[in-house]
Amino acid sequence: MMMPFLIIGTFAGVLLGLRFKIFILVPFILILACAIIATGDGLKATALTILATAVLLQIGYMLGLVVRVWAGRYLMKRKNPRDQPSKSKPVSL
């Protein structure tokens, strides 16, 4: 039962990194911990799942930040007028 939480945690971290500041991680980790506890696994399995999910959520968040920075740089290049094609009409000979 650990793998779905790890996959969801990683993808959620990427999505949160693309949109929110770091303060969103604490409430989201608490929500995930409640969902993991509700599965009713043993104490060790629950603790390990919460820990691993929190770590992967943070790694996913960092990946989301990297994607956000790269996307921002790409979009800034696209807004530069020197990089845009010319809007003048072609000259016919």
In tens, the pLDDT along 15-48 reads: 888 888 888 889 999 998 999 999 888 899 999 9
Under 8 Å between Cβ of 1 and 39:
yes
Structure-model confidence comparison of residues 76 and 40, the more confident one: 40
Confidence at residue 83, expressed as pLDDT on a 0 to 100 scale:
58
Structure-model confidence comparison of residues 31 and 82, the more confident one: 31
Torsion of CA 11, 15, 20, 23, to 10 degrees: -10
pTM, 2 dp: 0.73
Confidence at residue 86, expressed as pLDDT on a 0 to 100 scale:
63
User: Would you give the DSSP letter of residue 90?
Assistant: P
Under 8 Å between Cβ of 16 and 63:
no
Residue 58, token pair as written in the block: 């943070």
